[in-house]
Structure 1
Amino acid sequence: MRRPLNFACENAVLAATLDEAAGSTGLLIVSGGNEIRSGAHRGMAMLAQRSAAAGHPVFRFDRRGIGDSDGDNGGYRSSGPDIAAALAAFREAAPQLTRVVAFGNCDAASALLLHQPLAVDGLILANPWTYEDDCGDEGEAEEPALPPASAIRSRYLTRLKDPKSLLRLVKGEIDLKKLARGLSAMRKKPAAPAFGSLAGELDATLAEMFCPVTILLATGDRTAQAFMEKLAPSLAHIEANAGSIRIERLASPSHSFAGKDGEWLAERILAALG
């Protein structure tokens, strides 16, 4: 059963939705960008319905200044009080909870890291935002026109393995200067995130996390590509050393895991809920 409710956050009243279930592990969904709690194309509402059907209560909310909630929209960097108040309201509305796992996509994923410590028992972070500007409306990223260097290198590697591209090279149909720049970029080793940058903040927080963290990346999405580029050394260490942080990748360009990618997302979230 789904029911609406309200809760207080500082001087504002926030709107929320609880998908009820009997389980003791709940899912808190934090919306990204200026997306309302139903999500892009109602994706978060459908995810909540599926998770509740599997026995997990789900709490979604509109942060201050978004959707049906009062107050001013200060963006993801000021959403710490909203998330903390939502967690308290969730536990009050579903008193059987012994564990709460929080999920966020785009800058909501970044917010869940930036505002630590939070009273959660696990995090699920999808396509975390690492650009210095805010994520756009409906959780969709407003990235620079050019893809990250890692994406450019991947494209060049794919082309070099393609016989048709090699034939074009032999025929002189490929710009050798552009090819040389691409090959030069492939040789550069990823650097650590810049000190004081958003990526640096996320990297430092991940290094100190003690609760389980699942990172979900759509490898064709530029936001995910930027995250993989900027945190490459740390992600390589995480994948080489089994610990409390897990990384899972999906070959998809969908920032919000739309369409059939939603099934992959739901399966990973249910696995993290246990």
Structure 2
Amino acid sequence: MLETPLIFTCKEKQLVAIEHSPDKLNQKSTQGVLIVVGGPQTRVGSHRLFVQLARALAEQGYYALRFDYSGAGDSEGAISQFTDIQDDIAAALALFRQQQPQLTEIYLWGLCDAASAILLHLAENKQNTVSGLVLVNPWVRQASTQAKTYLKSYYVKRLLSKSFWGKLIRGNVKPTKALSDIRTFQQQSKTSPVAGSFVDNMYIGLRHFAGNVTVLLSECDLTAEEFKLLMVENTLWRTISKQENIKIHTIAQANHTFSEVKCKDRLITETLNAIKSLK
């Protein structure tokens, strides 16, 4: 496996990328995966998974490119929000094709708000040449769905937890604070989603994408739970999630960043399976 540092430009800013190439060319060398890294992250700890994923892809014969978007990591500029990196993704795709012109299939892979950014990119670039998507725990945070998710997946589980009642008896839990939070979330759960939000634009990107999509969700993650709730409660998302080109899988016992080795290995395996199935 060969790892090559690259510098490319987007809106007069220098961005940094690492390309991971297979040792030998084979029948899979016409396929590549662009890994979009969400939010400012460290390169150690749980977020080491981006490096490990790229290396695993290269070991299996795929090209992989991961990059720091504007203001993140070693790239220039002020830190960008995930809603504003569509041009960075387009520039990274152009770089990937320039580096490996033989690529006939490129897949976009993103975790959390990077998965959201990918759909926002597709909403702005409807005439894209991307072959498929792997979206991991997409970020769809809205006041109403966040509140409902916390009430259902956090507070209910706490009330059923022996450790919670133990902490309550020992005085390590403040009941008034918990009740206040619950009342706040109950009020927020009744609010209507904001029209024209980034979640609506994500839907537009997904609706216009004709390729295959694999959504991977962690079993033990509130972000994933909120995405599941969106697919249940929102008619448009519920309908589109049933399309034949969209597959949704849950990875058991996984947290948001797949910090346990067995969960990270499962994520990598599911990613490889998704790419193979998209071919």
Q: CA deviation at 1:66?
A: 1.0
Structure 1 residues 194 and 157 mapped into 2: Cα distance closer, same or farther (>3 Å)?
A: same
**Selected match of 1:112 from 93, 118, 141:** 118
Instruction: Please report how far the alpha carbon of residue 264 of structure 1 lies from its aligned counterpart in structure 2 after TM superposition.
Output: 1.2
Give CA deviations for 1:119-138 in whole Å, capped at 9, x if unaligned. 41111111111126xxxxxx
Instruction: Indicate the SS of the match to 2:225.
Output: helix
Q: CA deviation at 1:194?
A: 4.8
Residue pair 1:122, 1:212 contacting (<8 A) in 2 also: yes
TM-score (norm 1): 0.75
Q: State the Cα distance separating 1:197 from its structure 2 match.
A: 2.7
- 112-121 vs 43-52, greater mean Cα deviation: 112-121
The answer to whether the Cα contact below 8 Å between 1:28 and 1:103 also exists between their aligned partners in 2 is: yes
Match of 2:131 among 121, 128, 132: 121
Structure 2 CA distance for aligned equivalents of residues 69 and 157 of structure 1: 42
Structure 2: runs of 5+ lacking an equivalent: 162-178
Q: How does 1:123-138 map to 2 (within 5 A)?
A: 123-131=133-141
Name the residue aligned to 1:141. Answer: none
Amino acid at match of 1:34: P
CA distance in 1, matches of 2:45, 2:99: 22
Aligned residue for 1:231, secondary structure, equals helix
Pairing 1:246–2:243 present:
no
**Partner secondary structure for residue 115 of structure 1:** helix
Counterparts of 2:159 and 2:76 in 1: how far apart (Å)?
Answer: 54
User: Partner amino acid for 2:97?
Assistant: R
Mapping of residues 104-183 of structure 1, within 5 Å: 104-116=110-122, 117=125, 118-131=128-141, 148-150=147-149, 152-153=151-152
Aligned length in residues? 240
Q: What is the root-mean-square deviation of aligned Cα atoms in Å?
A: 3.3
**Which residue does 2:15 correspond to in 1?**
14
- Find 2:268's aligned residue among 245, 266, 269: 266
Distance 1:56 1:115 in 2: 23
Q: CA deviation at 1:40?
A: 4.1
Match of 1:87 in 2: 93
- Structure 1 match to 2:216: 216
Structure 1: runs of 5 or more not aligned: 133-143, 163-177
Between Structure 1 and Structure 2, the one with more helix by share is: 2
The one-letter code sitting in structure 1 at the alignment partner of 2:90 is A
